[in-house]
Amino acid sequence: MRRGSCERELAARWEAEAVAAARRETEARALAALGQVSVDAGAAGEPERKEGEEEAKARAPARPRAAEEGDARVSPSKPKPAPALTPTPTRGLCQQGKPRGKGRGWKRSSGRRADDGGWQRVVTVDSSKAKTSLEALKISIRQLRWKEFPFGRRLPCDIYWHGVSFHDNDIFSGQVNKFPGMTEMVRKITLSRAVRIMQTLFPEEYNFYPRSWILPEELQLFTAQVQVVKEGDPSWKPTFIVKPDGGCQGDGIYLIKDPSDIRLTGTLQSRPAVVQEYICKPLLIDKLKFDIRLYVLLKSLDPLEIYIAKDGLSRFCTEPYQEPNSQNMHHVFMHLTNYSLNIHSNNFIHSDSANTGSKRTFSSILYRLSSKGVDIKKVWSDIISLVIKTVIALTPELKVFYHLDIPTGRPGPTCFQILGFDILLMKNLKPMLLEVNANPSMRIEHEHELSPGVFENVPSLVDEEVKVAVIRDTLRLMDPLKKKRETHFSDAFMDRKYRILPVSDRISAVKLKFLKLSVVRSQQLGKTVARKEDVDSKNAAGANSSPEAHLPSICLKQVFPKYAKQFNYLRLVDRMANLFIRFLGIKGTMKLGPTGFRTFIRNCKLSSSSLSMAAVDILYIDITRRWNSVTLDQRESGMCLQAFVEAFFFLAQRKFKMMPLHEQVASLIDLCEYHLSLLDEKRLLCSGVGRRGTAPDHSLPQETVPTAQSTGTIVGASKLSYSKPALS
């Protein structure tokens, strides 16, 4: 808006605006208030009026105008009448013939809203693929006052909420609530392999996952190991639980006592599975076995950011627990805690209370344990450690999937995802990981059978209490406009003396003197209005001090990078994945070819007289052939990440002897990163010389030429963060 158009009418309405100034501010701050930005009807959040309404408004008496275009419009209780202004409507002009305000042509449905006297863009959410989480998502969006597009939108949205996988929609911008490859990564077999790699490196740190065997490829190994243990301890009578790889909601899970169980061998060829040691001594409440569903937000992959919900759900079995034996091991309502199974039990109890029923809040369980003297902080600490370690095990291969779908430098969305961790507390309160769900159920209702075959959806208050908070606060953390909004509010509510010019700089001394006299005459009216203004300002401060003032505190607690110092030493496989991705090349693939593997060996200077390039080729062929025979994805040939990790372990054990495996691997990673950093600096230097068009100077200064001393450290290379390890 322009200031000159308003000044031309200043004299005619001066006294009326003085009264307006007295109403808006107390006498002491009347002069400063004249600098506040003017807001027309469109910018204040009114929908755009139709043409007939515009004409009617034009025929009506106009409201008193402010002394300047930047001054606030406030009508006194008895405004001085002014002639109506009825200019011919023109494109881009408001009724007074001035340029139309910025927000004038925007409606609420266009993704903007009124906020603190100015238009703020509203976050848009595409919920067309939300599926079973739709109701909880709708409630969350309403609470946040965002804009939902339930049938999609031609224009890009800020956030896309998918119900199944990353590929539910073709997305090129914004944020999507799924990571590519997450569904594959948390399948029973893939998760077991990822955790097994970490157990190989850090057996004590990853003892929260039951010992597992992958079937059918490890059936003979499973049978042989069980037989060896039984021969050494005849009193050992184990129970094993068989979980189909692609199963969900308890489908296909059963218990066995011996590897020779006929069901085990009868279903393996058509349905690969994982078999685990069954946890026979779980913690019981009311004589019932239960597990915990915790919601974990993976906010970012690189850098890694993990949040855990402060509350979760506890799902109970519906038959009193007994240790498995030949008589009860087929009782699924006793041994399996899956909600989808137990809901069909006659003993299942639906309850709106968080403390009773077959589904309760985890916080109610903690409160009950606390009343019995249990150290709840220790329980939470162990659970947080379990979650961080599990995510660290999953992220290396997840990075490879991400690189395949969203290569570096190409347009694409950013990703986040809510994971469901199923955790069982043992009798000694040690948490054990059962599984991870890429698509945890976010339904907030359950089916109630009115008559045989006739069901209705009944709201579940326990589910709504936990799940809506998780979705809503996930959206709050992922809000793409949060920084802009916080900046806007900090500017809008800071002290006026820092954000507006003195009145004397904007109006003449004569006008200032006249204004002071007008303020004195309006003191009586101002006192009455000021009291109302104080009440209004207090209410406005409560409503507008923050865009999230009406919301409860965030239920998601950051655990990484908050505790990064305690867990970064575990991220060895993550660093190996970075090396793997580097040598994949630009082709969209997840497997490393023989040329890429040879380049890796050559650039990291791992070949020697005892490891020729011919031996490197044989190593590649042997490991790749074995892994390709056990992986389900046969669409492309080459070395997968897990095969690369096995080869890396072999090279580390060969290069660095007489050390624990994790130290051998760490030393080899340091060596590779060191040589690659030198190579990157050399390429950067050569590219700089090439751009200048000058011959390379071989007498470079000391700070650009790192030299390895007898101690193995780099001298004078401040840009390098790696030190060359001592070789055997």
pLDDT, tens digit, 9 for 90 and up, residues 377-412: 999 999 999 999 999 999 999 999 998 888 776 777
- CA atoms within a 13 Å half-sphere pointing along the CA-CB vector of 257: 10
CA distances in angstroms from 439 to 97, 147, 184, listed in the order given? 56, 24, 11
Mean pLDDT of all residues in the chain? 77
- Of 44-48, 196-200, 233-237, 471-475, the one with minimum mean pLDDT is 44-48
**Rg of the chain in Å (alpha carbons):** 34
Average confidence (pLDDT) over 627-647:
83
Distance (Å, rounded) from C-alpha 339 to C-alpha 359?
A: 8
Nearest to 385 by CA among 430, 353, 436, 330: 430
Question: Is 70 exceeded by the pLDDT of residue 49?
Answer: no
pLDDT digits (tens, 9 = 90+) for 642-666: 999 999 999 999 999 889 999 999 9
Average confidence (pLDDT) over 634-639:
76
pLDDT digits (tens, 9 = 90+) for 495-506: 444 444 444 444
Nearest to 579 by CA among 727, 433, 715, 396: 396
The amino acid at residue 353 is S
More confident residue, 631 or 681: 681
Q: 623: pLDDT confidence band, cut at 50, 70 and 90?
A: very high
Burial class (CB in 10 A: 0-12, 13-18, 19+), 65: buried
The proportion of the chain whose per-residue pLDDT surpasses 70, expressed as a percent, equals 67
- Of 13-27, 167-181, 524-538, the one with minimum mean pLDDT is 524-538
pLDDT digits (tens, 9 = 90+) for 139-183: 999 999 999 999 988 889 999 999 888 876 777 788 999 999 999
SS3 assignment for 546-602: CCCCCCCCCCEEEEECCCHHHHHHHCHHHHHHHHHHHCCCCCCCCCECHHHHHHHHH
Please report where in the chains the tokens 């030299």 appear, as a residue: 707
- CA atoms within a 13 Å half-sphere pointing along the CA-CB vector of 572: 23
The predicted structure's pLDDT at residue 451: 74
CA distances in angstroms from 558 to 10, 543, 595, listed in the order given? 56, 27, 42
Segment holding 254, helix H or strand E: strand 254-256
The predicted structure's pLDDT at residue 61: 45
3-state secondary structure of 119: strand
For the record, the structure tokens of 717 come out as 């290379």
Q: Which residues 6+ apart lie within 8 Å of 470 measured at CB?
A: 295, 297, 309, 418, 442, 555, 556
Question: Is 50 exceeded by the pLDDT of residue 66?
Answer: no
- Of 314-323, 500-509, 619-628, 634-643, the one with minimum mean pLDDT is 500-509
Average confidence (pLDDT) over 12-39:
50
Contact yes or no for 402/181 (Cβ under 8 A): yes
Contact yes or no for 413/160 (Cβ under 8 A): yes
The predicted structure's pLDDT at residue 398: 94
Distance (Å, rounded) from C-alpha 275 to C-alpha 217?
A: 12
Please report where in the chains the tokens 């599975």 appear, as a residue: 273
Distance (Å, rounded) from C-alpha 439 to C-alpha 460?
A: 19
pLDDT digits (tens, 9 = 90+) for 117-143: 445 689 999 999 888 788 999 999 999
Report strand pairing: 414-415 vs 175-176: parallel
Distance (Å, rounded) from C-alpha 315 to C-alpha 275?
A: 22
Question: Is 70 exceeded by the pLDDT of residue 556?
Answer: yes
Question: Is 90 exceeded by the pLDDT of residue 15?
Answer: no
Q: 685: pLDDT confidence band, cut at 50, 70 and 90?
A: confident
Residue 386 has φ and ψ, to the nearest 5°, of: -60, -45
Q: 285: pLDDT confidence band, cut at 50, 70 and 90?
A: very high
DSSP 75-116: --SSPPP-----PPP-TTB-TTSSBPPTTTT--GGGTEEEET
Q: Enumerate the β-bridge partners of residue 417.
A: 298
CA dihedral 151, 156, 158, 161 (to 10 degrees): 40
Q: Enumerate the β-bridge partners of residue 714.
A: 708
**Using alpha carbons only, what angle is made at residue 675 by residues 671 and 680, rounded to the nearest 5 degrees?**
145
Question: Is 80 exceeded by the pLDDT of residue 82?
Answer: no
Is residue 238 reached through a cis peptide bond, with omega within 30 degrees of 0 on the bond before it? no
Distance (Å, rounded) from C-alpha 121 to C-alpha 482?
A: 11
Q: 523: pLDDT confidence band, cut at 50, 70 and 90?
A: low
Distance (Å, rounded) from C-alpha 511 to C-alpha 17?
A: 12
For the record, the structure tokens of 31 come out as 């002069």
Please report where in the chains the tokens 């060969």 appear, as a residue: 654
More confident residue, 633 or 498: 633
- Of 42-51, 151-160, 336-345, 562-571, the one with minimum mean pLDDT is 42-51
Average confidence (pLDDT) over 29-47:
40
Question: Is 90 exceeded by the pLDDT of residue 282?
Answer: yes
Contact yes or no for 283/430 (Cβ under 8 A): no
Average confidence (pLDDT) over 575-588:
87
CA dihedral 31, 36, 42, 44 (to 10 degrees): -90
pLDDT digits (tens, 9 = 90+) for 353-362: 888 899 999 9
The predicted structure's pLDDT at residue 587: 65
More confident residue, 79 or 214: 214
Q: Enumerate the β-bridge partners of residue 269.
A: none
The predicted structure's pLDDT at residue 416: 96
Q: 24: pLDDT confidence band, cut at 50, 70 and 90?
A: low
Average confidence (pLDDT) over 85-103:
42
For the record, the structure tokens of 545 come out as 């001090």
Is residue 431 reached through a cis peptide bond, with omega within 30 degrees of 0 on the bond before it? no
